Amino acid sequence: MRWTPATWRLLQIRLKDQPEEVIGAACDALIPIAHARGVAVILNDRPDLAARFGCDGVHVGQEDASCAEARRAVGKDRMVGVTCHDSRHLAMEAAEAGADYVAFGAFFPTTTKEAIGHPEPEILTIWQETMEIPCVAIGGITPQNAQGLAAAGADFLAVSSGVWSHGDGPAAAVKALNAAIAAGLAERALP
């Protein structure tokens, strides 16, 4: 399947500092499950392994491979996303280099990783007004704060502990997130 922004539902495999065989085993186990549900799988940080293990794309940070290097590794038919922290300049460079999406954040405190930038939600609004490629909001996103990011202009929200650490379980978290996103999109559509 050719993944396009209209069909994106993504699962990111993020196994920092794990050996290649562990990452490969995770890809082997998760890709068929995700694909059976219409979910694309991207690998964090490692374009070479994303290509080797059959992922649908890769997400790179500023300290990882460049967007151009990632594109060469995974090819033109797979996704490349780039973390841009709180910098529209980095995001524009990534877009010009061929990124399929850019990610801004961390918008809220997070325990998943050390945040370098702390953008205000208006960066999403400005991005929507000036650029065409999708933007992703990352960092500390929960059902309680997702609506504002969707309303500000996030095309996608990257959520980790907001799902896995939710008191009522992951299914309840997803339901609450979907409601918050829908409310945010409705708010964004208002004149």
Q: Tens digit of pLDDT per residue, the chain (191 long)?
A: 455 565 678 999 999 889 999 999 999 999 999 999 999 999 999 999 999 999 999 999 999 989 999 999 999 999 999 999 999 999 999 999 999 999 999 999 887 777 777 899 999 999 999 999 999 999 999 999 999 999 999 999 999 999 998 889 999 999 999 999 999 999 988 87
Q: Do 14 and 98 share a structural domain? A: no
> Where among 76, 101, 135 does a domain terminate?
76
Same domain, 165 and 89: yes
Instruction: Give the span between the Cα atoms of 66 and 73, in whole angstroms.
Output: 11
Q: Give the number of domains in the chain.
A: 2
Q: Is position 175 within any domain?
A: yes
| Any domain includes 131 | yes
pTM for the predicted model, two decimal places: 0.91
> Do 130 and 149 lie in a common domain?
yes
Domain around 27: 6-76
10 plus 95 within the same structural domain: no
Residue 1 forms part of a structural domain: no
Residue 180: is it exposed, middle or buried by C-beta count within 10 angstroms (0-12/13-18/19+)? Answer: buried
